[in-house]
Structure 1
Amino acid sequence: MKIQKEVVLPDGNQSFKLFEPRLRNHFFWHYHPEYELVYVEAATGIRHVGQHVSSYVGSDLVFIGSNIPHLNFDYGLKTDYKQIVVQLRKPFLGDAFQQTPEFNRIRQLLDRSYRGLSFGGETKIEVAEQLRYMRELNRFDQLLQLLKVFQTLAKSEEVVELNDRDTSVKLFMNDKIRMTAVYNYIHQNYNEHPDVNEIAEQVHLSTAAFCRYFKKQTNMTFTDFVNQYRITQSKTLLLQGKSVSEVAYDVGLESLSYFSKLFKKIVGMNASDFRKQYRI
């Protein structure tokens, strides 16, 4: 499957869609003209927005701009999870944000969203609670609550821009490579010996051309991406109670010292400290 355009069909009587998708067994590399706010609770998962690829732990709150390619945040999850998604039309509320001074901060938030915005700290906690509360409201009150959510996000300094440039779908429209095949290959082989020559052949490119393509798509080398995928998988295994040495072997890194070095480089702490901090 190439990148897909998701057709968002909110109720004709509503300007946005609030729902709780569950797609962990489905690779959905997609885009849509609508803005999207995603909150997910999971032990750990993959965050792929535009050219940014990383992982989250515990929960994630991301605001994605119009036509930014992204992977579903629950893809490949092996543990239970909860997810709330809001999709809203562009332009949202017509010209209201342009003509109403009280909406200036929210308008600026929408303008920045093309980079993909990840929120943490107290902002993430507060917005998660606001989104849960929204589910119990009627449509008009949901709209008012959504404006409060956006105002909370707009005022927050607990935000990271995931991309440093425009990564909207216009930059991806000539992509003829099946990213699904690449992800599936890595998922099936990350604990063995993934071979860049093999996946390049599968997607009908020379190795050099594939490496250029992959770097352009993800802003990472194939090797760095595989290693990050390994570490993402290792987080789940650690939280399931496996020892550090077992996990290193299970994700295909037979050198415990190399696994430990890589884990600390990517996560910012050693594997034992990670398990103590996040395991319930």
Structure 2
Amino acid sequence: KSLKIETYEGEDICHKINWHLHPEYEIVFIKNGKGKILINTYHSSYEDGLLIFLGPNIPHMPFGNSDFKDNAEVVIQFKKEFIEERMSLFPEFQSLNSFMKSIDKGIIFSNEIHRKLTKSFLDFKSQNSLEKLLNFIQILHQLSISTNHINLNGKIKKLQIKSQALDRISLVYEYVNNHYHTPIKSETIANQLGLTPNSFSRLFKLSTNRGFIDFLNEFRIHKAMELLENDHLQIAEIMYKCGYNDPSYFTKQFKRYSSISPSKYRAQLLEKKSKL
């Protein structure tokens, strides 16, 4: 299909692999709850739902949360040809041309436009194919005329990923997603990709604007942050679950990506919970 629309409800959040990227544009609507926004080197958070539009080939983590039973997440994916074909057939679509060109990396929309379009996104679940298409076009129009948003173009470095490299980087993300809790060596991944260690390091740096070890540490630390929300797990146990076996190195990396120690991070989580 040229337009893919998926709706997830309640605890059935979008279970994509963690870090991933794809050649399609992606619009993600999350009805409520709070969560993290991790897009390549850009890190932020949202407090009461999210509406975000990402350009092609932008590495990102899933955005969903399971804070509320009535939550809903809608994920829309389409390739640029989908819009270009309609521009060539219908002059009315030309008004979307400049907007689509502005989605080089991504846009986070305001709570105001999020609230305004909530019903439109939730309607997808009960619509037939034609109704979905018309609804999508209307949503795209509303997004194009919105002026209250955060443009990520200046906050995320552009990745120049060729199709062959895209497949390889996707395999790297998949490998880390599945093996982050075990020792991971660059040589092992390079061998799986049919590359020398130096060639793999260059490929990853050129494709993602960061070194592989930096990416791996950041991935593991964000996993540790998730696990620290579980009061029943000891910090040492979390360290091992995230692939570390040296407490001082684990703490050093944790401070690098969160500015505080694991114990202080957990204390802050507990303090927030006590105020709820």
Q: Give the TM-score normalised by structure 1.
A: 0.65
Answer yes or no: is the 8 Å Cα contact 1:43–1:239 preserved in 2: no
The alpha-carbon deviation at position 114 of structure 1 amounts to 2.6
Could you tell me which runs of 5 or more consecutive residues in structure 1 were left unpaired when the two chains were aligned: 1-8, 11-15
Q: Does 1:30 align with 2:26?
A: no
Answer whether contact 2:159 2:207 (CA < 8 A) is retained: no
Amino acid at match of 1:69: N
Q: Which residue of 1 aligns with 2:11?
A: none
Secondary structure of 1:85's counterpart equals: strand
- The superposition leaves residues 182-235 of structure 1 with CA deviations (integer Å, 9 ceiling, x where unpaired) of 224323443343222222222222222111100112111111101111122123
C-alpha spacing 1:160/1:124, structure 2 compared with 1 (3 Å): farther
Give the structure, 1 or 2, with the largest relative contact order (CA under 8 Å, sep 6 or more): 1
Q: TM-score, normalised by structure 2?
A: 0.66
Question: What amino acid is aligned across from residue 158 of structure 1 in structure 2?
Answer: I
Code of the residue aligned with 1:234 in structure 2: it is A
Could you tell me which residue of structure 2 aligns to residue 238 of structure 1? 228
For 1:113, the equivalent position in structure 2 comes to: 103
Q: Please state whether the residue corresponding to 2:163 is helix, strand or coil.
A: coil
Question: 2:41 & 2:234 partners in 1: Cα distance?
Answer: 24
Q: Report the count of equivalent residues.
A: 247
What CA distance in whole angstroms lies between the structure 1 residues aligned with 2:193 and 2:159?
Answer: 26
Matches within 5 A, 1:258-273: 258-265=252-259, 271-272=265-266, 273=268
In the alignment, residue 57 of structure 2 is paired with which amino acid? P
Q: Map of 1:1-280 to 2, 5 A cutoff?
A: 9=1, 16-20=3-7, 22=14, 24=16, 29-32=21-24, 35-40=25-30, 47=38, 52=40, 60-65=50-55, 68-69=56-57, 74=62, 82-87=72-77, 89-91=82-84, 92=86, 94-98=90-94, 103=95, 106-119=96-109, 121-124=111-114, 126-128=116-118, 130-136=120-126, 139-140=130-131, 143=134, 146-148=137-139, 150-152=141-143, 154-161=146-153, 163-165=156-158, 167=160, 171-175=161-165, 178-242=168-232, 245-246=235-236, 247-251=238-242, 252=244, 254-255=247-248, 257-265=251-259, 271-272=265-266, 273=268, 277=272
Letter in 2 for 1:264: S
Cα distance in 2 between the residues matched to 1:78 and 1:132: 17
Structure 2: 5+ residue runs without aligned partners? 9-13
1:31 aligned partner, one-letter code: P
Question: How far does residue 128 in structure 1 lie from its aligned partner after superposition?
Answer: 4.5
Distance in 1 (CA, whole Å) between partners of 2:66 and 2:137 is 29
2-structure distance, mates of 1:277, 1:218: 34
- Of Structure 1 and Structure 2, which has the larger fraction of its residues in helix? 2
